[in-house]
Amino acid sequence: MARPDKVDAVEEMRDKFRNSNGAVITAYTGLTVAQLQQLRRSLGENANYRVAKNTLTKIAANAAGINEIDDLFTGSSAVAFVTGDPVEAAKGLRDFAKDNPSLVIKGGVLDGKVLSADEIKKLADLESREVLLSKLAGAMKGKQSQAASVFQALPSKLVRTVDALRAKQDEQGGAE
């Protein structure tokens, strides 16, 4: 019979798996409590870093419908549940791992897609969502101004062409 505290832990993690955009599984062996606190702060409000037993985490992931990451739950494992911008959380983990080699990114899941450790590192190399959106808005604004220039040029070109035709007809009519 399962102990109530373990049942509660599994239910809590299952809800986190369901309600988060993604989850990154890491190995944390060798990190001190102070370093783990620093890691939690570096992730900000976008992610919740949780150390848990592999068996309970695997049961919670399976209950949430995520079966593809079972092989990541070996050795010491902790999960960063990402609720905000996944790029920012991936950058936080990558940067912390650079300074603390004891933190190893094993892999994860993002919006139902399984990611390898390399894919998470590539995700960390992307610019933040806000930067990408502002670049997109700038590009769209530039295209709109180009389109406006083209649309303004068409009537003025038509007027110049009509004036040139009229002048040519006047020359031909005056030459006869």
- Distance from C-alpha of 104 to C-alpha of 118, rounded to nearest angstrom: 11
Is the pTM above the cut of 0.85?
A: no
Give the CA distances from residue 138 to residues 108, 130, 135, 164, in Å, rounded to whole numbers and listed in that order: 33, 12, 5, 39
Domain spans of the chain? 3-126, 129-175
Instruction: With H, G, I as helix, E, B as strand and everything else as coil, classify residue 27.
Output: strand
CB 42 within 8 A of CB 96: yes
Note the pLDDT tens digit of each residue in 101-146: 888 999 999 888 888 888 888 888 777 667 767 877 877 776 777 7
The CATH homologous superfamily to which domain 3-126 belongs is: Ribosomal protein L10, N-terminal RNA-binding domain (3.30.70.1730)
Note the pLDDT tens digit of each residue in 70-110: 888 888 899 999 988 888 888 888 889 898 888 899 999 98
SS3 content of the chain, % helix, strand, coil (to 5): 60, 15, 20
